[in-house]
Chains A and B, each alone.
Chain A
Amino acid sequence: MIANRKKDRLSSGKLLAAAVAVLLLSGWASPAIASGDKTPQGDGMVDQAGEAKAPAAKKTKLSNKEAWKKAGKVPELPALPHFLAKIMPKKAHTIHKWMWVIRPAYALIIVTFAFLFLMAVYRKRSILPTRLQTVMEMIVEGLDNMICGILGEKHGRAYLPYLGALFLYIVCLNWFGQVPLMLSPSSFFACTLGLAICTFCVVQYTQWTKLGVKGVISHWAGDPKDVVGYCVAVLLIPLHITEEFIKPLSLGLRLYGNIYGEDVLLGSMLMLGILIFSFFPANGIPLGFPLMLPFQFLALLLSTIQALVFTLLSAIYILMVLPHDDHEHEEHAESHA
């Protein structure tokens, strides 16, 4: 019993360290990548239906017409920057211009809170666990079971810190959009791409260290044994190299598309709820029907599943490049070329 607890404590300590590393990495990566993309993406004002024209929207339209047109007016749940732009119409243009910094900055809020929370839990750990510690241990144990089920006991323990931190962080990112006045940073492609690049780096590191240069090239060539094998290898190698880069791209796009689509759905439903009351002569009075409420529960569920999918796929990409000492998992490796 005590030995078991010791193991748990060890893995939660590693989890904490890896969490901080992943969070910092993606937090730095996202603004750097985002700086290439300066269009005010998806800053459609949800509450445009209410008053004649929001000054913020007008301002953006005048000064930044091209970009606005390019981004399209995609509805979105209103967040803090939108309200700030409404309160201070003069600063609206600046706020829209700096949106590419504000969006990833939400990730830093999550990082801060997650760090403080985990520190608080980690400091007060004891043999007789408090309620919070029990919850955290349950989460860690669940992740341990899941990842060890895929990667096997030995490799699973080695990669649990990274994958577990990834799962928890993505769940936080996705759920953060449901907090009033907050955005989910994962509805921003740079953020999800940053996470996918983390996975890419882990996979590449594993591949080159565990298999070695010869092993990797042989793996890319499909382990040729006869003349036909070598002929096919010429075709297989470029395919595998392309795949290495497509994997993180699709990983990032999937998460981004799901969360962004979800946000757009919620925004449209909110807008529909406002439009229902448009016959009512409410000049500027915020009036609406919360149509997006059922979809928010759906969003919570789907966000969790997407985080799980991201983690599982990362685990399977790692599994694909691990040396096959047991042939139990081979069908996974071939299933999605």
Chain B
Amino acid sequence: MKGSILQFSYPIAVSIAAIGSGLGLGRAVGSAMEAMGRQPEAAGKIQTGMIVGAAFIEALTIYALITVFLVPK
């Protein structure tokens, strides 16, 4: 019984995390692209910042995923 509940709740947990970080990534990358379009000469710096920010946002989904892997089923 416990196992079957977890089987439903793990994917839901990961998908909620993915929705959140998807929205966050969309905003971050969208703004970065806009900024790059406005100032193409600063593209390198903006890209570095964007990748770092994207890594921080994406890490949240990864943590949810790791929880699913590591918590005993």
Verify that A and B bind, or say they do not: yes
- The verdict on B25 contacting chain A, using a C-beta distance below 8 Å, is no
- The verdict on A229 contacting chain B, using a C-beta distance below 8 Å, is no
Instruction: Report A301-337 CB contacts with B as 1/0, cut-off 8 Å.
Output: 0000100110011001000000000000000100110
Contact of B51 among A72, A253, A257, A305 (CB under 8 A): A305
Contact between B62 and A261, CB atoms less than 8 A apart? yes
Main secondary structure of the interface of A (DSSP, over half): helix
CA A250 to CA B58, docked complex, whole Å: 12
Contact between A74 and B55, CB atoms less than 8 A apart? no
Contact between B51 and A312, CB atoms less than 8 A apart? yes
- The verdict on B38 contacting chain A, using a C-beta distance below 8 Å, is no
Contact of B72 among A42, A72, A261, A309 (CB under 8 A): A72
- The verdict on B52 contacting chain A, using a C-beta distance below 8 Å, is yes
- The verdict on B2 contacting chain A, using a C-beta distance below 8 Å, is no
CA A312 to CA B54, docked complex, whole Å: 12
Contact of B66 among A256, A305, A309 (CB under 8 A): A256
CA A254 to CA B73, docked complex, whole Å: 22
Contact between B62 and A69, CB atoms less than 8 A apart? no
Q: Which residue of A lies closest to B72 (CB)?
A: A70
Contact between A149 and B45, CB atoms less than 8 A apart? yes
- The verdict on A100 contacting chain B, using a C-beta distance below 8 Å, is no
Q: Contacts A74-B69, A149-B44: A309 and B51 contacting too (C-beta < 8 A)?
A: yes
Main secondary structure of the interface of B (DSSP, over half): helix
Contact of B48 among A42, A254, A312 (CB under 8 A): A312
- The verdict on B35 contacting chain A, using a C-beta distance below 8 Å, is no
**Which residues, 40 to 73 on B, are CB-close (under 8 Å) to A?**
44-45, 48-49, 51-53, 55-56, 58-59, 62-63, 65-66, 69, 72-73
CA A335 to CA B53, docked complex, whole Å: 9
- The verdict on A237 contacting chain B, using a C-beta distance below 8 Å, is no
- The verdict on A150 contacting chain B, using a C-beta distance below 8 Å, is yes
Q: Contacts A257-B63, A258-B62: A72 and B73 contacting too (C-beta < 8 A)?
A: yes
**Which residues, 4 to 58 on B, are CB-close (under 8 Å) to A?**
44-45, 48-49, 51-53, 55-56, 58
Contact of A309 among B49, B52, B63, B73 (CB under 8 A): B52
CA A336 to CA B58, docked complex, whole Å: 14
- The verdict on A264 contacting chain B, using a C-beta distance below 8 Å, is yes
**Which of B51, B58, B62, B72 has the largest number of chain A CB atoms within 10 A?**
B62
What residues on A are CB-neighbors of B73 within 8 Å?
69, 72
What residues on B are CB-neighbors of A260 within 8 Å?
66, 69
Contact of A250 among B48, B51, B59 (CB under 8 A): B59
Q: Contacts A253-B62, A258-B62: A313 and B69 contacting too (C-beta < 8 A)?
A: no
| A70-B72, A149-B48, A260-B66 known, 11 other contacts, Cβ within 8 Å | A74-B69, A150-B48, A250-B59, A253-B59, A253-B63, A257-B65, A257-B66, A309-B55, A312-B51, A313-B52, A316-B52
Which chain A residues have a beta carbon within 8 Å of chain B's beta carbons?
A: 42, 69-70, 72, 74, 146, 149-150, 250, 253-254, 256-258, 260-261, 264, 305, 308-309, 312-313, 316, 332, 335-336
